[in-house]
Amino acid sequence: MKKGFLVSVLLFLALLGASAQEAQVKLYGFIRNFAVADTRESVYGTEDFFYYVPKDVKIVDGEDLNARSTFAFAALTSRLGLDITGYEIEGWKVGAKFETDFYSGVSGVTGTAQLRLRQAYMTLAKDNLSLKIGQAWHPMAADSPHVFSLNSGAPFGPFSRTPVAMMDGSFSEHVSLTLAAIWQMQYVSAGPKGASADYIKYSGIPEIYMGLSLKSGGFTGRVGVDMLSICPRHLNEAGTAKVSDRITTFSPYLYAEYTRDLFSVKAKTIFAQAGEHMNLNGGYGVSAVNADGSWEYTPTRNSSSWVSLRYGKKVQGVLFGGYVRNFGTKEALVGDLYFSKNSFSNMNRMFRITPELVYNLGKVAFGLQYEVTSVQYGSFGTEDRFGLATQDLHWVTNHRILLMAKYTF
């Protein structure tokens, strides 16, 4: 199987070389090693390198079982990609990107790293209009903080690569409009049957994004809104009749960035209804049961924000800060609450502070990062009908040290 894959890659590169008169192909990537130590059991992804939140206290016989340190080391976040440019047809400039890493095949910290698809899209551009079609960054997740940690600031901001058809239109040198139709694949909605892309599949309506961008000098600003309409159920509980369940959510956001000389500052904030499909701490629950057997739903509301500062070139200092506040659901719950698989519904609020240093030697970089993530957990009382834990509030904290060694080519 490995031999066949290698042959396929070599054949693909040979075909690209044969058409070099029409397109230019640039191979890029990096070898990246991460070593990480945590002071507490937590929710992770990607062999413990994609950090979400520390787990709540779990007391058994007077001992907190989640107060346990861990360590991991691997190179599976290494990356390989192709940028294809230079082809033109009837005035349209055509390009493409193909990007992969080695995350697939690992469960927890066990397994053999295998190739998986990160991005694969084509672009078309003419005059003031450009199109992007394929798997790419969600438009609300494309602008990330300066940190080198794999989570790119999540869950304090959207994080998702997903199938998308996106159009950018420029009104002037400084202002542009973005429209996108988005589907779900790896990052999906929660629901009665767990996290699944089936809820948008049976909806028949893509996720819609619309936003404006402003660029002037060293400043970039964006404002946008995301609309998601899904069907948590398409059959009743017995599976014998169709139901018309649907929930539609709206999530606005703001982003700003300013760069001058060796200094850069970025900030992003989103007020999300649900938002778990973008790796945010949210979800939705059942708010009513109708006579025809269908259910009505109400989304959670959460505010997620981060600020990132960086200074330097050869030696770079970075400081990241993030804050999340859970406001509960819009309406009272009468049934289950479906929440993000990477968090816990009894989370009230959380914060993160991340200082880091990066030493750059040409194409080689070494990084040291300290990350503290603290979550306020609670319990649900008899009056907590809006999906917000307000009793027995307490803070749980994880301290993380992350080391990086990276060679870029």
Whether residue 146 contacts residue 308, with contact meaning beta carbons closer than 8 Å, is answered with: yes
Tens-place pLDDT, residues 298-318: 999 999 999 999 999 999 999
The pLDDT score that the predictor gives to residue 47 is: 77
With H, G, I as helix, E, B as strand and everything else as coil, classify residue 65. coil
What are the residues facing 340 on neighbouring strands?
none
CA distance 338 to 295: 14
For domain 23-408, the CATH class is mainly beta
The pLDDT score that the predictor gives to residue 381 is: 83
The pLDDT score that the predictor gives to residue 20 is: 46
The pLDDT score that the predictor gives to residue 109 is: 62
Q: pTM to 2 decimals? A: 0.91
Q: Can you list the residues of the chain whose pLDDT is less than 50?
A: 1-2, 5-7, 18-21
Q: Where are the domains of the chain?
A: 23-408
Spacing of C-alpha 269 from chain mean position: 14
Q: State the sign of the Cα–Cα–Cα–Cα dihedral 292, 249, 341, 302.
A: negative
The pLDDT score that the predictor gives to residue 123 is: 98
The pLDDT score that the predictor gives to residue 390 is: 93
With H, G, I as helix, E, B as strand and everything else as coil, classify residue 297. strand
Other CB atoms within 10 A of residue 82 CB: 18
